[in-house]
Structure 1
Amino acid sequence: MSAEQIPYVAFLRAVNVGRRKVEMARLRAELDGLGLGPARTYIASGNAFFATAGKDRAKLRAEIEQRLEQAFGFAIPTALYTLAEVEEAYAAAPFGAKPPEAHERFSLLFTTGPLDPQVLPQAGKRGDWEVVGLHGATAYLHYRVVDGKGPANPVPLLEKAFGVQGTGRFHHTVEKIIASARKG
């Protein structure tokens, strides 16, 4: 009897930004090559879906990161969640059902490890972003346009503060990622 396949979502950090090009077909092929196929992707910002059984998550993440660095020539930090964990993090978001105003955005920061609430509060000096909650390895960010300027990227600062690596996805995009992952 084979072990139950667990659906995963891999969130790749900083792909298809600048010279960090990752073609989604090649990404799927690399994941398939690790025995994680058939892998699927959603949009070109680095969201991949696959199922596997009986693998230690830390080892699996290390295998994925090593394979992708070899394939693409640069490190690709990967936040690895089960689909159930992504659904839970989405459901726990403190944003409520109200859509953001025109000057604001809601985002989930998916990270590589648990987040210590004692590191809070975390916020931009201009009031352009703040962490409004935590759930396991996920932080919830509220972005604002201040004086006509969009928010600075808080991810490097938050990675340092929490001692993890992470990548953000807008709240409405996470809903679409979940729907796409469920189709598999």
Structure 2
Amino acid sequence: MADTADTADTYIAFLRAINVGGRTVKMERLRELFAELGLTDVRTYIQSGNVFFRTGELDRAALTARIEAHLAEALGYPVPVMLRTVAEVAEIVERDPFAGVEVTPELRLCVLFLSEPLPAGTEFPVHSPKGDWDILDATPGAAFVVVHLRGGRLGTDPSTAFPAGYRGRATARFFHTTVKILAAARKS
């Protein structure tokens, strides 16, 4: 396992709209697209759009915009990108607001990686009007959502579980998958 100093410039790109809705991108192609931007040590994890890479670029907003523009041009559709450092994802995992949630077959625990913080003054928990999700907590870059299944299926896309007035974008990962993504990103 690499230590924090070794991963200080390692990013995890959480991509939305990869391999869903008939939009298929092979991970080899995705790695090529990131490498074309001059990013190094590019790796992917599972087929849902998780890309690890290293860069010395410090302006995260500019880097995000550059990646999004390149992906849109190459793939022909927009791909929102939420960039996080390995340390930031470690903080999310360590925070674990799900620790007190009794896991049942009818629940899914999700992390929503946010493009911008939830509105100031949001009080938790936030419950959906239909009762299909609850936002338990949030940081400026992530929201922690319990999704209630309906007939064994997700009733709503967890990345749309926001209080009214939220203008940002998000992509969802199950919490247990986020833990695995972190472990994979820490490997050299």
- Please say whether Structure 1 and Structure 2 have the same fold, judged by a TM-score greater than 0.5: yes
Quick check: 1:106 aligned with 2:130?
A: no
**1:76-132 CA-partner distances (Å, limit 9, x unpaired):** 000111111011011112011766211111110001122334244533223121101
Aligned partner of 1:79 in structure 2 is 82
Alignment identity in percent?
A: 38
Quick check: 1:128 aligned with 2:128?
A: no
Code of the aligned partner of 2:156: A
Residue ranges of structure 1 left out of the alignment (5+ in a row): none
Q: 2:48 aligns with which of 45, 50, 56?
A: 45
Mapped to 1, the partners of 2:22 and 2:151 lie a distance apart of 31
Q: How far 1:5 moved relative to its partner?
A: 5.7
- Is the CA contact 1:5–1:53 (under 8 Å) kept in the aligned structure 2? no
- Is the CA contact 1:127–1:146 (under 8 Å) kept in the aligned structure 2? no
Residue correspondence of structure 1 range 116-155 to structure 2 within 5 A: 116-120=119-123, 122-146=126-150, 150-155=154-159
Q: 2:27 aligns with which of 3, 7, 24?
A: 24
- Is the CA contact 1:16–1:44 (under 8 Å) kept in the aligned structure 2? yes
- Is the CA contact 2:147–2:158 (under 8 Å) kept in the aligned structure 1? no
- Is the CA contact 1:9–1:80 (under 8 Å) kept in the aligned structure 2? yes
Residue ranges of structure 2 left out of the alignment (5+ in a row): 1-6
* TM-score (structure 1 length as normaliser): 0.89
Change (3 A) 1:160 1:35: farther
Mapped to 2, the partners of 1:115 and 1:53 lie a distance apart of 29
Aligned length: 181
* TM-score (structure 2 length as normaliser): 0.87
After TM superposition, what 4+ stretches of structure 1 lie above 3 angstroms from structure 2?
119-122, 146-150
130-139 or 155-164, larger mean C-alpha shift: 155-164
**1:29-67 CA-partner distances (Å, limit 9, x unpaired):** 111111112210000100000011143000000000001
Q: Secondary structure at the match of 1:45?
A: coil
- Is the CA contact 2:35–2:42 (under 8 Å) kept in the aligned structure 1? yes
Change (3 A) 1:36 1:101: same
Quick check: 1:167 aligned with 2:171?
A: yes
Change (3 A) 1:97 1:132: closer
